[in-house]
Amino acid sequence: MRVNGPTLIYDGECGLCQEAVALLTRWDRTGRVTLVPFQDQERVRTFGIPVPALAAAMHLILPDGRVLAGADAAPELLRLLPGKEWIAIVFRVPGIMPVARQVYAWIARRRHCLVRPVQVE
């Protein structure tokens, strides 16, 4: 599916994900990236990605139709943020992506016990 701009699907009930999205929002001063919690099933359904996959990792959907998940989404997401493009260079260092994928998977499996979610009232 093609989208107008980059869309990041994340776990809206995860405290760590909420913290990451708050940071992303501060960094994305121009509002380039649309943020959608995977719990918003009406919006998420349009992307055709199974909910178990969305529950396992963040997904970045790019305007050209590419979908990047987990650690693979991080460098592209950084390239989209004004002034943060330089951080993406780290992911080009040989051997970094396999390590980043392992670290991301380890954190993703434990994310609900690492940071408590913010309760919105």
Contacts of 47 (CB under 8 A, 6+ apart): 1, 7, 9, 59, 61, 67
**pLDDT tens digits along 23-33:** 999 999 889 99
For CA atoms 2, 56, 105, 116, the dihedral sign is positive
Q: Which CATH architecture best describes the domain 7-114?
A: 3-Layer(aba) Sandwich (3.40)
Considering the entire predicted model, what is its pTM?
Answer: 0.85
**pLDDT tens digits along 82-92:** 889 899 999 99
Domain ranges of the chain: 7-114
